[in-house]
Structure 1
Amino acid sequence: MPPEALPHRVVVTADGPILVEGPVEVELPDGRKAVSERPVTALCVCGNSRRYPFCDTSHRRRVRSAREEER
């Protein structure tokens, strides 16, 4: 099978984005298309990304340690 015919790998993570291997073209509900040429593209599933449909890690919540709060 030629390399371009191989399926792309998609990884659904438990608490973050969907990871897609290889270049990807994403068609949005309004018909617009977003293209990423990256080797691995992270797609937003939380809807909070400012770069939607791509993940900008907005889903992460930073928890401060007690030591950081004392400063």
Structure 2
Amino acid sequence: MPRTPRSPARRVRVRTDGPLLVEGPVELIMDDGTVVTSDRFCVALCACRRSRRFPWCDTSHRRRDRR
């Protein structure tokens, strides 16, 4: 989604040991070219790749062993 002078920048919050929180709506292009969308006001994107719903976060990162 290219930005135009009228479109505001998306805000992304990076959280330590957690998902990326992105103000929506969002459109994601996956490695294989598949496009996934969400019209929610805020989405959590998986950063650990443990989610069963990848690219959406399902809080699987909470079950990670910490050393």
TM range (shorter): 0.7 to 0.9
Deviation at 1:15, TM superposition (A): 1.0
User: What number of residue pairs does the alignment pair up?
Assistant: 60
Q: 2:14 aligns with which of 7, 12, 37?
A: 12
5+ residue gaps, structure 2? none
Higher helix share: 1
Give the alignment's Cα RMSD to 1 decimal. 1.6
1:1-71 residue pairs with structure 2 within 5 A? 2=6, 5-61=7-63
Deviations 1:1-51 (A, max 9, x none): 74xx11010011011000100200010000001111111000001111111
Secondary structure of 1:60's aligned partner: helix
Q: TM-score by structure 1 length?
A: 0.78
Secondary structure of 2:62's aligned partner: coil
5+ residue gaps, structure 1? 63-71
Task: Name the amino acid aligned to 2:35.
Answer: K
Larger Rg: 1
Within 2, Cα distance between the matches of 1:30 and 1:61?
28
